[in-house]
Amino acid sequence: VDADSVRRATLDLADDELDELLASAARLAAREIRATRDGPVFSAPPALHAVAATVGANELPQEGEPLEDVLAACATLLDAGRRTAPGFFGYVLSPPAPVGVAADLLASAADQNVTAWRSAPAATEVEHQVVRWLGQFVGFASDATGLLVGGGSAANLAALLVAVGNRAPTAHRAELVVYASSEAHFSVAKAAGVLGVQFRSVPATDEYQLDVHELAASIRADRAAGHTPLCVVGTAGSTATGAVDALEAIATLADIEGLWFHVDGAYGAPAASHPAHRSLFAGLDRAASLSIDAHKWLYAPVDCGALLFADPDASARAFATAAGDYVRVLGHDAGETFAFWDHGLELSRRFRALKVWMSFRHYGARRISEAIADDIDIARYMAALVDEDDAFELLAPPGLSVCCFRHVPAGVGADMLDAHNQRLLGAIQRDGRVYFSNATVGADFGLRACITNFRTTRSDARQALDVVRELASWDET
Ligand SMILES: *Cc1c(COP(=O)(O)O)cnc(C)c1O
């Protein structure tokens, strides 16, 4: 062998080792998918010291160990994690559709850095296509432009930057005002803070929707005080109760007032794909920008958020580096000169689009939409079970796939109910068979179930409530 064709150090594997590694990883991935399907949420009740012991407090390893040992350690690690099993009702988390898991592995293998067409031509085209598909899926636009980002928080931040770039590029940031309802996700206020613009939390109605009259009054008051209203964020599926704002009315007011209209559909927008739920989202097609999290209700593995625009030039006005240049780029020879860095915050970007693309191609939009509608049906079923049990109380009517309730046992005074439900939630989370997160609805603390799991059934919902009853009675003694 020619000495110059050999390196002292390479990280490559021999062909047979490579095949063995990938076969082992595939077996482990399949085991993980089955464990997520079958539950429980935690193999053992999670405790800090036990998890830390599993990870181990080793020194930086100077020398390597055999792959089979590393894979065995990996299997133990995965077992110490939380699984989005059918008994997991917390937050807004979906298990990944198996096709998405395979897609993420392939995206890593191909490792396209999706900065621009020149760097990653096929991945760039796939991302354009996925963005268009998402726009069609939810009825936003048939030819949406935009990009994929890490999630809803990143999408909301970029959306506000684009609002500034399009409506008030030269204004003093501190004079600009962004509006969203008190039920909006905290990432909106956070984004406003990062940008140095003002944030107004507009009161919500009894239906947890942004109160459009309050919004109009707030805009008037701000103008009178010399501030510049910039943008209103409508929430299409609030995280706490699943409420969808009155998007049509907000769009009309935004038009009259000349405000950028962004819709935060990170959680809820995919439900607009289903004929039975579409009407809730009327006005979505009038938004200038829209956030959708594919890693929530499109069942993609984290991370994958999308930010869509109605105007193909909107994002470049905020992000294009060479001022004026983007016009030429977006003109006649747009395709090959296209660069995502002119449309968003990141330069290096993972090939996130592949998992959404493979999922739409394999399952088809109709089946994904049916899975979403099933989730909503199960949330309503759970709410009905809660409603017919005197020991439970619904905190809000079910919105989309969210059901918020609390335990109200006879003999526990109204002033003790928050403490009782906090204790109960702690007991449920320590027990590990099922998982709820918390919600404060109005002033009341309760348990929140969100169903964004294509495997969850009515029977899972029933059994989860049985576990709550069991742990609640234990808690009372
Ligand atoms: C989850 C959520 C977000 C934040 O999304 P991430 O992907 O977690 O960053 C924003 N808005 C709404 C309505 C959400 O439900």
- Is the CB of residue 153 below 6 angstroms from any atom belonging to ligand 1? yes
Q: Work out which ligand 1 atom sits closest to the CA atom of 153.
A: 9
Alpha-carbon torsion angle 169, 174, 178, 181, nearest 10:
170
Distance 241 CA to ligand 1 centre (A): 13
Query: Is the per-residue pLDDT at 326 higher than 60?
Result: no
pLDDT digits (tens, 9 = 90+) for 42-81: 988 778 888 888 888 678 999 999 999 999 999 999 999 9
Q: Closest residue (by CA) to atom 5 of ligand 1? A: 152
* Mean pLDDT rounded to a whole number for the chain: 94
The encoded tokens of residue 36 equal 């997520």
Q: What are phi and psi of 70, to 5 degrees?
A: -65, -40
- Is the CB of residue 267 below 6 angstroms from any atom belonging to ligand 1? yes
Distance 91 CA to ligand 1 centre (A): 10
Distance 410 CA to ligand 1 centre (A): 37
Pocket test for ligand 1, best of 153, 208, 281 (most atoms within 8 A of CB): 153
196, 174 Cβ separation under 8 angstroms: yes
Q: Work out which ligand 1 atom sits closest to the CA atom of 236.
A: 13
Distance 460 CA to ligand 1 centre (A): 25
Strands 260-264 and 305-309: unpaired
Non-local (6+) Cβ contacts of 1 within 8 A are none
pLDDT value, residue 473: 84
Query: Is the per-residue pLDDT at 40 higher than 50?
Result: yes
Q: Work out which ligand 1 atom sits closest to the CA atom of 237.
A: 13
Distance 152 CA to ligand 1 centre (A): 4
- Is the CB of residue 293 below 6 angstroms from any atom belonging to ligand 1? yes
Question: DSSP assignment of 112-159, as one string?
Answer: --TTBTTT-HHHHHHHHHHHHHHHHHHTS-TT-EEEEESSHHHHHHHH
Pocket test for ligand 1, best of 292, 293, 451 (most atoms within 8 A of CB): 293
First to last CA, the chain: 77
Mean pLDDT for the stretch of residues 289-299: 98
List of E strands, 156-311: 176-181, 198-202, 228-235, 260-264, 289-293, 305-309
Q: Work out which ligand 1 atom sits closest to the CA atom of 265.
A: 13
Name the band, by pLDDT with cuts 50, 70 and 90, for residue 13: very high
How many other CB atoms sit within 10 Å of the CB of residue 365? 14
pLDDT value, residue 339: 95
Name the band, by pLDDT with cuts 50, 70 and 90, for residue 385: very high
Distance 466 CA to ligand 1 centre (A): 30
The encoded tokens of residue 252 equal 């009309």
Model pTM score: 0.95
Distance 306 CA to ligand 1 centre (A): 11
